[in-house]
């Protein structure tokens, strides 16, 4: 009754309040009259800021309330909070005037199990993992220098605007082809699958990006549906999954060839800046120049070696050398033959002189004669070889004549 009275007296006052003043008054009333409470619900919209504060919502079948855990209280949490978990929390009810919302400043957290979506997520994840959809061996490289990129996402969301802006800044030469799709709701998975199949049929892009901005586990559920995971796995074109915030993981992330933490990061990871391309071109040009120079030097050295071999082994020069060698051999042989002939002639002269000196007939010129016994013409060497009356022949230097032995002469 005190609260109702307070509100009546407050609004009965005809004073005009500013928006900030009325927000502060509402916060004062909430914090003054609602004590610290225990609340149980399923986690959704989980996010952790760079400063270390944790934000999420707790929901049940009909309502949702925002929660915040300030960094000073996060050290007491002994487990990892994830979308789909059931938590029991204790905290103070307060308001966030900047957005006219109320929230729970959490002081204590206990686990309460897992929600239905989280259980479904884990069950399907295990099934698809066993089927090999998440195997690293089946993932393909994203083309390093794309010219056309296909994006399957909502045409009205903030994600596509950020992606287009970053793409234009990094490399305006890359063409972005958008397939407008539903990214939330009952028909979202079918819409995204249709986009993947369309790009595969047209085969007019280098790879496909599927994604959307952050949201609750319910908002992102289309990217956890089995039909979409199968379409991603069966795509002939490489696929980049860029769903939600950095802490959000979907089954499409595990199946895709590359997982980007956010849609903006997908562009950062896959579209190189013009300066990077120019740097790569410069490096390639230097590499090519060095390669051509090395090849030129190798060819030049080979030509010089061949020229040297040709100069030393020219056919005409080689033939001339062989002719000269033959001439030299011929001259040496001619000299050798003449020398041999002279030696043989000299030997012959010596032999002739020796034969002449040893020839018995040569002494006939000096007044000697040779006496033969007739008729057998045997040389008579002793007086004992003849008797008186034997016929003999006497040979002198200019002829011979016959005679008869007249008597013995001892």
DSSP labels, 284-300: HHHHHHHHHHHHHHHHH
User: What is the rounded CA–CA span in Å between residue 93 and residue 35?
Assistant: 7
Burial letters 316-350, b for 16+ CB under 10 A, else e: eeeeeeeeeeeeeeeeeeeeeeeeeeeeeeeeeee
Q: Checking phi first, is residue 386 left (phi over 0); if not, alpha (psi -120 to 50) or beta?
A: beta
Provide CATH 2.40.50.140 ranges for the chain.
34-114
List the one residue out of 146, 141, 140 whose CA is nearest residue 273: 146
Give the count of beta carbons closer than 10 Å to the beta carbon of residue 253. Answer: 23
Averaged pLDDT for residues 263-268: 94
Q: Which helix (H) or strand (E) holds 176?
A: strand 175-180
Q: Tokens 């549906």 belong to which residue?
A: 225
Query: What token pair was written down for 100?
Result: 């006219």
- Range list for CATH 3.40.50.2300 in the chain: 120-137+144-272
Predicted pLDDT at 318: 66
Q: Is there a contact between 188 and 181 (Cβ–Cβ < 8 Å)?
A: yes
Tell me the pLDDT tens digit for each residue of 29-65: 887 888 888 999 999 999 888 888 999 999 988 899 9
Question: Distance between CA 215 and CA 212 in Å, rounded?
Answer: 9
Which residues are bridge partners to 400 per DSSP? 395
Residue 289 contacts residue 270 (beta carbons within 8 Å): no
Model confidence, pTM = 0.51
pLDDT digits (tens, 9 = 90+) for 71-90: 988 877 766 788 888 888 99
Distance between CA atoms of residues 15 and 27, nearest Å: 19
Nearest Cα residue to 59 out of 175, 168, 190, 216: 216
As beta bridge partners, residue 64 has: 59
Which position has the higher pLDDT, 211 or 410?
A: 211
Residues in the chain: 410
- Write out pLDDT tens, residues 368-389: 788 888 888 788 888 888 888 8
DSSP 8-state assignment for residue 18: P
Residue 197 has pLDDT above 90, yes or no: yes
CB-CB neighbours of 33 under 10 Å: 11
Strand ranges for 342-383 from DSSP E: 370-373, 378-379
What is the Cα–Cα distance from 251 to 332, expressed in whole angstroms?
98
CATH architecture label of 34-114 = Beta Barrel (2.40)
Element (H, E) at 337: helix 315-358
Kindly state the tokens that stand for 199.
């790009």
Give residue 196's pLDDT band: very low, low, confident or very high (50, 70, 90).
Answer: very high
Going 287 to 291 to 294 to 297, the CA torsion angle's sign is negative
Query: 62: how many CB neighbours lie within 10 A of its CB?
Result: 5
d(CA 166, CA 164): 6
The CATH topology of domain 120-137+144-272 is Rossmann fold (3.40.50)
Task: Enter the tokens of residue 275.
Answer: 């300066």
Ranked by mean pLDDT, the top range of 72-81, 160-169, 283-292 is 160-169
Report residue 35 as tokens: 């004590």
Q: What is the pLDDT of residue 238?
A: 96
Give CA–CA dist 160/211, Å, rounded: 9
The pLDDT of 298-324, averaged and rounded, is 74
387: left (phi over 0), alpha (psi -120 to 50) or beta: beta
Maximum C-alpha span of the chain: 212
Check residue 314 and give its pLDDT: 64
Helix axes 263-270, 158-170, angle to 10 degrees: 20
Beta-ladder partners of 370 = 395
Would you state the pLDDT for residue 6? 46
> What's the pLDDT at 227?
93
Question: What average pLDDT does this structure show over 248-276?
Answer: 91
């Amino acid at each position: 009754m005190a609260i109702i009275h307070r509100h009546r007296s407050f609004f009965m006052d005809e004073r005009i309040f500013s928006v900030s003043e009325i927000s502060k008054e509402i916060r004062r009333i909430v914090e003054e009259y609602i004590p610290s409470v225990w609340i149980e619900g399923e986690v959704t919209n989980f996010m952790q800021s760079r400063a270390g504060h944790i934000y999420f919502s707790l929901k049940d079948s009909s309502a949702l309330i925002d929660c915040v855990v300030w960094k000073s209280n996060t050290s007491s949490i002994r487990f990892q909070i994830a979308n789909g978990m059931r938590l029991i929390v204790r905290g103070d009810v307060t308001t966030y005037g900047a957005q006219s919302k109320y929230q729970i400043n959490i002081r204590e957290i206990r686990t309460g199990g897992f929600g239905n979506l989280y259980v479904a997520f884990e069950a399907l994840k295990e099934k698809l993992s066993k089927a090999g959809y998440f195997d690293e061996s089946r993932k393909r490289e994203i083309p390093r220098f794309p010219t056309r990129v296909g994006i399957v996402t909502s045409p009205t969301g903030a994600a596509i605007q950020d992606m287009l802006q970053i793409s234009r800044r990094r490399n305006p030469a890359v063409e972005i082809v958008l397939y407008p799709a539903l990214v939330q709701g009952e028909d979202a998975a079918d819409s995204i699958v249709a986009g993947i199949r369309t790009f595969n049929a047209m085969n007019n892009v280098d790879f496909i990006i599927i994604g959307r901005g952050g949201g609750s586990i319910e908002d992102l559920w289309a990217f956890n549906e089995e039909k979409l995971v199968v379409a991603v796995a069966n795509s002939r074109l490489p696929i980049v999954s860029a769903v939600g915030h950095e802490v959000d993981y979907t089954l499409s992330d595990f199946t895709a060839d590359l997982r980007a933490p956010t849609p903006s990061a997908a562009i950062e990871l896959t579209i190189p800046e013009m300066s990077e391309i120019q740097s790569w071109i410069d490096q390639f040009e230097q590499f090519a120049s060095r390669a051509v120079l090395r090849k030129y030097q190798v060819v030049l050295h080979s030509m010089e070696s061949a020229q040297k071999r040709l100069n030393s082994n020219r056919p005409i020069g080689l033939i001339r050398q062989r002719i000269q060698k033959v001439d030299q051999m011929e001259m040496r042989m001619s000299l050798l033959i003449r020398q041999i002939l002279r030696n043989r002639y000299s030997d012959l002269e010596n032999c002739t002189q020796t034969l002449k000196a040893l020839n018995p007939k040569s002494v006939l010129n000096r007044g000697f004669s040779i006496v033969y016994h007739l008729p057998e013409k045997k040389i008579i060497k002793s007086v004992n070889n003849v008797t008186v009356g034997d016929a003999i022949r006497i040979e002198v230097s200019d002829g011979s004549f016959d005679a008869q032995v007249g008597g013995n002469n001892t």
